[in-house]
Structure 1
Amino acid sequence: MGATFTWPVRVYWEDTDAGGIVFYANYLKFFERARTEWLRSLGIGQQRLRDETGGMFVVTDTHLRYLRPARLDDLLLVTAHVQEAGRASLTMVQRVLLKPEHAGDANIVLCEGTIRIGWVDGAAMRPRRIPTAVLRQIVPGAVSAD
């Protein structure tokens, strides 16, 4: 559904554990930042979204597979793609890829995950339907029964 968004990130000391590899929980941070930048690329600022609609996206489910480690100073590409759009949630497929050192070489998948984000009322933190205008901005042609 829609295009895959790609966001580059460099691995810093703060991202690594004592063994010099990216600490496993930091992949979730990379995914969160990529989703935020994806929304921003669509003209959707999260604070403005909450101010204007009273709602916001929250993570409701995560499934990650760690395939290979990322290391200090690696250049990574973090992707975000809408796999499924429901009335109150989006299922995202995300990957962390190691960008190759040489042009023409293939990216190497380091981590992949499925992240479900639900729409909630920002004050009550209760599930709500994604507003139609928001859903259409994210997934052109989508329809939601507000």
Structure 2
Amino acid sequence: MSDASWPDLAGRIVGKVHHLPIRVYYEDTDFTGIVYHDNYLKFAERGRTDFLRVAGVHHSELQEADPPLAFAVHKMEIEFLSPARIDDELLVETRYVAARGARFDIEQVILRDGQPIWRAMVRAACIDGAGRPKRMPVSIINAIGAYVSEPSQSR
């Protein structure tokens, strides 16, 4: 199945913010029925990856580039505001607030019923196959640059 056969599979960009719906499954929870803390990181990773996908930047193409490129999280500041539970419908919002040189600054919020339950500020870097920072190609800067916006007021 390709993105063309199910266009919303990777979420959608509304204005300059990517929206990715997530449902909480049993596998996402701990023995108390709430989302295990590391799964929020997985939800956020999906949001960042699918934002790039919708913007036209695909990880598989980066790996095949010469030199091969990848993105790595350098720093993350996280706030856990309220727990999510099994069967909750969540929305991962991803906003790129800077893209220059080898780095991105990304604001992410996970919402339940329109209310933030988790927040993160992420600094990611473009790296080469040896793990060294590498200036992003112009094509990536252009693809992401169209969506760079100011941080939300909720921070």
Aligned to 1:97: 111
Q: Structure 1: any 5+ residue segments left out of the alignment?
A: 101-106
| Equivalent AA in structure 2 for residue 61 of structure 1 | K
Aligned to 1:88: 102
Q: Structure 2: any 5+ residue segments left out of the alignment?
A: 1-14, 149-155
Q: Percent identity?
A: 36
Structure 1 pair 141–72 and aligned structure 2 pair: CA distance change class (3 A): closer
Which of the numbers 129, 133, 143 marks the counterpart of 1:137?
143
- 1:26-105 aligned within 5 A: 26-53=39-66, 54-98=68-112, 100=113
Name the SS for the 2:131 alignment partner: coil
Structure 1 pair 109–137 and aligned structure 2 pair: CA distance change class (3 A): same
CA distance in 2, matches of 1:42, 1:85: 13
Name the SS for the 2:130 alignment partner: coil
CA distance in 2, matches of 1:137, 1:9: 25
Aligned to 1:104: none
Q: Which runs of 4+ in 1 moved over 6 A?
A: none
Name the SS for the 1:71 alignment partner: coil
Give me the CA root mean square deviation. 1.6
Q: Deviations over 1:38-63 (max 9, x none)?
A: 11111221111221242111111111
Q: Deviations over 1:55-82 (max 9, x none)?
A: 1111111110000010000000001101
Aligned to 1:120: 127
Q: Give the TM-score normalised by structure 2.
A: 0.81
| Equivalent AA in structure 2 for residue 76 of structure 1 | L
